[in-house]
Amino acid sequence: MKHIKQFIAIMLFIVLFLVSFQYITHVFNYKMGENDTVGSFYKEPKDSIEVLFVGSSHAHSSFSPMELWNETGITSYNLGTSSQTIPCSYYLIREGIRTQHPKVIVLETYGVKYDVDYQSTARLHIALDEIPFNKTKIEILTEFLPRTMGGVEERLEYCFPIIRFHSRWKELTPADFRAENVFLKGYRLNCNPRKQQEPVRTTQKEEVWAGMMEYFQRIAELCEENDVELLLCNAPMSKCNKYKSVTQKMNTFYEYAEEQGISYINFEDLREELDLDYQTDFRDKEHLNLYGARKITTYLAAYLTEHYDLTDYRDNPKYEQWNKDYDDYINLVKK
Amino acid sequence: MQFDSFDFLIFFPIVCFLYYAIPYRFRHIFLLVASYYFYMCWNPKYALLMLISTVITYLSGILLHRANQITQAGKREKYRKLCVFASFASNLAILFFFKYFDFLINSINRVLAYTHVSLINVTFDVVLPVGISFYTFQALSYTVDVYRGDIYREKNFLKYALFVSFFPQLVAGPIERSKNLLKQINVKHEFDLHKVHSGLSLMLFGMFQKKVLSDNIALIVTQVYDNYSKYGSLELIFATVLFAFQIYCDFGGYSNIAIGASRVMGFELMENFNTPYMANSVADFWRRWHISLSTWFRDYLYIPLGGNRKGRFRKYVNLMIVFLTSGLWHGASWHFVVWGGINGVYQIIGDLFRPVRDKASELLGIERKTFSHQLLKVIVTFVLIDFSWIFFRADYVGQAFAIIRGMFTRIHLRVLYDGTLLNLGIDTKQCLVVLGFLLILIAMDICKYLKIDLIEGLSKQGIWFQYAVYFFFIYAILIFGSYGPGYDASEFIYFQF
């Protein structure tokens, strides 16, 4: 009897520790701005998302799930994180398929410009930390990170991010305990126009990194295995230093996509159709603001309804929350 | 591997599990292998050095035993003394070469520089093997104990090798005696949940002392001591007071982890720190501070020198020898020697002035048993000890004097209210947290001083309370501990893009 009691006490301790440790890790993890993009994604009801946007800051600046909902009633989520590389996108897509099994994945392809697995350790944390301890996480730790990180100690902080973030106790805010603006669904709202110049379109090509292509292959295969449609696209950029190199790499990449029969939308070719205004639609040299994002989202809304079998949930009482979220979204936009 | 490394977090549970899982007769071999592995994580080559010390002292035991069988008294004593001499000479020679050779050459060169004689050039670089001072002393204690007949020689070499290399206390003590540890190696330790529980609690507390207190305080002390000329009197005093706690928490924390880890495996090591800053005299301090080393010097140096049996003068000479040696043991540098010397002088002065103090308190009618008088003694002792720590912490003697001069000359009282004191090396928030935890430590030490066994007392409390305490310490370490690559907000700030 005594032994059983002791055993239960020890088990209780371990369970309490694991639960509290997971919670504390989540609290201390770095949250991008006010939206905890990846963390909040896991809180969406299972299999409730039909379209998943994945990619870099261009993804989270250009695709607004709430606008898409308002126009079409399609449920979507934006898993764009800062300077996300294609390998990181792969792991997020894996998790997206596992938890939501979306019908379409829209991969924003700014990531093809990188010739590294990750752009900085901080960005790696933002993209991958909230993935819970499962097969995907183990593969990240044992397969992906060792590609570039030698020491176990260097990799350890991706298994236990608290190693990196524990000193954040000084700057914790209520948003660290409870994510704010969850209704943005990963979209990064910005309403400030900054005048930009229209860049000269280039048709030249530049080689892309094989290490990236390897992971893109895996994304394509993963989508095919799971019957998920893959749609590639970019976001228009204004005139900036990176413009030439990024678009040249995308040209190469889209040519490859065409050969493989993978759908893509090159928004650089659709400037007129979008009626893109370089005076009002950008928030900085590279990224669209809300006005630009609305144009992109409207275009995508039409494209998605035309090409894929997606559902309009607007009148479905189960999705009532989405209507409320849209109201919150509009209130925030008005502010 | 360090106790506060991730490696140890993996190593220790595996060792404990296997230790209890394998049959008793293999356990000492297993622990020996684990201990050598533990040591070789620093530098595999140095394990050889430890092995040499082990072999020499092991043989000294065997030979002493043989010598004891010699019937002729004179010859017997001669052989016995020869054994002890050989063991000490060879072990100390190794220690001297690896720890003090550079120091000796440098010191000679400094003297030579005055006389304009050409300096000695040393072409090889000696790196100090980890823990050499600790295990050498531990091994030597065995030779003397066998010589004195306090213990029987150990025939089993593997068991003896484990005594020298037992990993929890191998690199930073407590320096065990064969009378205690060697005997326990021959005892079968059954798995005892109560002991495991108590050991783990002690390890947790030790880790708290090390990671939360010592390592954070070190940031303040390093900032001030490395830039001492920039700081005024109060900052220097603040840092020096904190250093007293830094070194206590570092060393005491390490000892607690060692004692706790041993207890988990059923071994009971000697206590190493007993509320040292509650001491009411310098002599009392040395009965409470690094007890395993102080008693080593008492048993194997002070008493053989004659202790206090040969008159007052000889007693003082012996005291000075012990404390100067102790200083040198702590590090091959003159500032350690001065530190040791100061502590010796304190005790001699204290002893010389005892009649004066007695007389004075009698004349002034001071009631010596009152709390206020005891408190005063504790404070005075702390100030004296802390003063000597300046020499311990400084990089060289001249720096210590410069710091002391700064303490008395650069007095700026505004630092008391402009927040300077809370912003040395760490920011105000962190400093306040550390000071708060320090108060907890002091409160716990006061409990211990009052003979309240907190760990034992905790185990009698309701389970919710026990868990609350454990989680408090675990998360104090995880959140406020000093570890990891550090988080720099500016690296993350541009992530809107």
Q: Are residues B40 and B179 in the same domain?
A: yes
Q: Would you say residue B10 lies in a domain?
A: yes
Over chain B, what is the mean pLDDT? 88
Mean pLDDT of A26-38: 81
**Do A82 and B463 make contact, defined as CB atoms within 8 angstroms?**
no
Q: Among B410, B444, B474, which residue terminates a domain?
A: B410
Which residue do the tokens 């261009």 mark?
Answer: A58
More confident residue, A77 or B487: A77
- Residue A147: its pLDDT value, please? 87
**Which one-letter amino acid corresponds to residue B446?**
I
Binning pLDDT at 50, 70 and 90, where does residue B381 land? very high
Looking at the partner chain, which of B470, B484, B492 has a beta carbon nearest the beta carbon of A30? B492
Q: For chain B, percent helix, then strand, then coil, each to nearest 5?
A: 75, 0, 25
SS (H, E, C) B160-225: HHHHHHCHHHCCCCCCCCHHHHHHHHCCCCCCCHHHHHHHHHHHHHHHHHHHHHHHHHHHHHHHHH
Q: Would you say residue A6 lies in a domain?
A: no
Q: Would you say residue B114 lies in a domain?
A: no
Q: Are residues B421 and B446 in the same domain?
A: yes
Test the A interface: residue of B191, B212, B487 with most A CBs within 10 Å: B487
Separation of alpha carbons A131 and A137, rounded Å: 6
- Residue B186: its pLDDT value, please? 86
- Residue B486: its pLDDT value, please? 76
**Do A169 and B492 make contact, defined as CB atoms within 8 angstroms?**
no
In contact, A188 and A60? CB cutoff 8 Å? yes
What's the longest Cα–Cα distance across chain A?
80
Cis status of the peptide bond prior to A102, with omega within 30 of 0: no
Mean pLDDT of B431-460: 91
Looking at the partner chain, which of A24, A122, A168 has a beta carbon nearest the beta carbon of B491? A122
Sign for the pseudo-dihedral over CA of B37, B41, B42, B47:
positive
Residues in chain A within 8 Å Cβ distance of B475 = 20, 24
Structure tokens at B406: 């700064």
Separation of alpha carbons B35 and B50, rounded Å: 11
More confident residue, B416 or A253: A253
Whether A30 and chain B come into contact, CB under 8 Å, resolves to yes
Looking at the partner chain, which of A20, A24, A157 has a beta carbon nearest the beta carbon of B485? A157
Q: Would you say residue A93 lies in a domain?
A: yes
Binning pLDDT at 50, 70 and 90, where does residue B124 land? low
In contact, B211 and B3? CB cutoff 8 Å? no
Q: Would you say residue B288 lies in a domain?
A: yes
Q: Among B410, B436, B451, which residue terminates a domain?
A: B410
Whether B192 and chain A come into contact, CB under 8 Å, resolves to no
CA distance A241 to chain B (A): 15
Inform me whether the pLDDT recorded for B6 exceeds 60: yes
Residues in chain A within 8 Å Cβ distance of B478 = 21, 24, 162, 166
Chain B residue nearest residue A285, CA to CA: B497
CA distance B430 to chain A (A): 8
Q: Would you say residue A103 lies in a domain?
A: yes
Render pLDDT for B227-247 as a digit per residue (tens, 0 to 9): 988 888 899 999 999 999 999
In contact, A62 and A292? CB cutoff 8 Å? yes
- Looking at residue A291, which CATH number applies to its domain? 3.40.50.1110
Separation of alpha carbons B7 and A335, rounded Å: 52
Phi-psi region of A93 (alpha: psi -120 to 50; beta: other; left: phi over 0): alpha
Q: Which of A145, A178, A55 is nearest to A109 (CA)?
A: A55
Residues in chain B within 8 Å Cβ distance of A238 = none
Separation of alpha carbons B248 and B273, rounded Å: 8
Strands across the sheet containing A263-265: A76-80, A51-55, A104-108, A229-233, A263-265
Q: Would you say residue B172 lies in a domain?
A: yes
Whether A24 and chain B come into contact, CB under 8 Å, resolves to yes
Q: For chain A, percent helix, then strand, then coil, each to nearest 5?
A: 55, 5, 35
- Residue B188: its pLDDT value, please? 85
Binning pLDDT at 50, 70 and 90, where does residue A34 land? low
Q: Which residues are within 8 A (CB) of A285 and not within 5 positions of it... i.e. 6 or more apart?
A: A196, A237, A238, A239, A240
Mean pLDDT of B443-472: 90
User: Of chain A residues 73-92, which have a CB less than 8 A from chain B?
Assistant: 82-83
In contact, B265 and B189? CB cutoff 8 Å? yes
Binning pLDDT at 50, 70 and 90, where does residue B123 land? low
Render pLDDT for A291-305 as a digit per residue (tens, 0 to 9): 999 999 999 999 999
In contact, B160 and B31? CB cutoff 8 Å? no
Render pLDDT for B336-376 as a digit per residue (tens, 0 to 9): 999 999 999 999 998 888 888 888 888 887 777 888 888 99
- Residue B495: its pLDDT value, please? 53
Q: Give exposure, A26-65, as e/b (b: 16+ Cβ within 10 Å).
A: bbbbbbbbebbbbbbbeeeeeebbbbbbbbbbbbbbbbbb
Mean pLDDT of A5-26: 92
Which residue do the tokens 């091959």 mark?
Answer: B332
DSSP string, B228-278: GGG--HHHHHHHHHHHHHHHHHHHHHHHHHHHHHHHHTT--PPP--S-GGG
**Do A166 and B484 make contact, defined as CB atoms within 8 angstroms?**
yes
B330 is known as an active-site residue:
yes
Whether B427 and chain A come into contact, CB under 8 Å, resolves to yes
In contact, B177 and B241? CB cutoff 8 Å? no
**Do A167 and B497 make contact, defined as CB atoms within 8 angstroms?**
no
Q: Would you say residue B491 lies in a domain?
A: no
- Residue B277: its pLDDT value, please? 95
Q: Are residues B17 and B154 in the same domain?
A: yes
Range of the domain at A235: 47-116+180-334
Which residue do the tokens 């520790």 mark?
Answer: A17
Mean pLDDT of B47-66: 90
CA distance B480 to chain A (A): 7
Inform me whether the pLDDT recorded for A110 exceeds 90: yes
In contact, A114 and A237? CB cutoff 8 Å? no
Give the pairing type, strands A76-80 and A229-233: unpaired
Any idea of the CA torsion for B327, B331, B337, B342, to the nearest 10 degrees? Answer: -50
Burial bucket for residue B286 (CB in 10 Å: 0-12, 13-18, 19+): buried
For residue B177, count other CB atoms closer than 10 A to its CB.
Answer: 23
Inform me whether the pLDDT recorded for B295 exceeds 80: yes
Q: Are residues B160 and B220 in the same domain?
A: no
- Residue B490: its pLDDT value, please? 66
CA distance A308 to chain B (A): 30
| Number of domain units in chain A | 1
Q: Would you say residue B119 lies in a domain?
A: no
Whether B481 and chain A come into contact, CB under 8 Å, resolves to yes
- Residue B161: its pLDDT value, please? 93
Whether B497 and chain A come into contact, CB under 8 Å, resolves to yes
Q: Are residues B453 and B337 in the same domain?
A: no
Range of the domain at B358: 282-410
Q: Would you say residue B110 lies in a domain?
A: no
**Do A120 and B487 make contact, defined as CB atoms within 8 angstroms?**
no
Q: Which of A25, A65, A28, A62 is nearest to A44 (CA)?
A: A65
Mean pLDDT of B333-338: 92
At B63 the three-state DSSP class reads helix
| Number of domain units in chain B | 3
**Do B484 and A126 make contact, defined as CB atoms within 8 angstroms?**
no
Render pLDDT for A134-157 as a digit per residue (tens, 0 to 9): 999 999 999 899 888 878 888 888
Q: Are residues B460 and B348 in the same domain?
A: no
- Residue B115: its pLDDT value, please? 73
Mean pLDDT of B78-84: 87
Q: Are residues B10 and B145 in the same domain?
A: yes
Inform me whether the pLDDT recorded for B17 exceeds 90: yes
Chain A residue nearest residue B489, CA to CA: A168
Separation of alpha carbons B200 and A303, rounded Å: 62
**Do A167 and B429 make contact, defined as CB atoms within 8 angstroms?**
no
Separation of alpha carbons B37 and B31, rounded Å: 10
**Which one-letter amino acid corresponds to residue B169?**
Q
Q: Are residues B405 and B424 in the same domain?
A: no
CA distance B489 to chain A (A): 9
Q: Which residues are within 8 A (CB) of B254 and not within 5 positions of it... i.e. 6 or more apart?
A: B3, B172, B173, B206, B210
User: Of chain B residues 197-216, which have a CB less than 8 A from chain A?
Assistant: none
- Residue A33: its pLDDT value, please? 62
**Do B467 and A168 make contact, defined as CB atoms within 8 angstroms?**
no
Separation of alpha carbons A78 and A288, rounded Å: 15
B197, B330, B335, B373: which one is catalytic? B330
Looking at the partner chain, which of A13, A123, A170 has a beta carbon nearest the beta carbon of B429? A170
**Do A163 and B485 make contact, defined as CB atoms within 8 angstroms?**
yes
Separation of alpha carbons B259 and B267, rounded Å: 8
Structure tokens at B203: 């390890």
Q: Are residues B380 and B301 in the same domain?
A: yes
DSSP A229: E
Render pLDDT for A116-137 as a digit per residue (tens, 0 to 9): 998 888 889 888 999 999 999 9
* Least confident segment among A105-114, B408-417, B434-443: B408-417
**Do A169 and B480 make contact, defined as CB atoms within 8 angstroms?**
yes
Render pLDDT for B406-420 as a digit per residue (tens, 0 to 9): 999 888 888 888 888
Structure tokens at A201: 């379109």
Find how far residue B22's CA is from the centre of its chain: 33
Whether A31 and chain B come into contact, CB under 8 Å, resolves to no
- Residue A91: its pLDDT value, please? 95
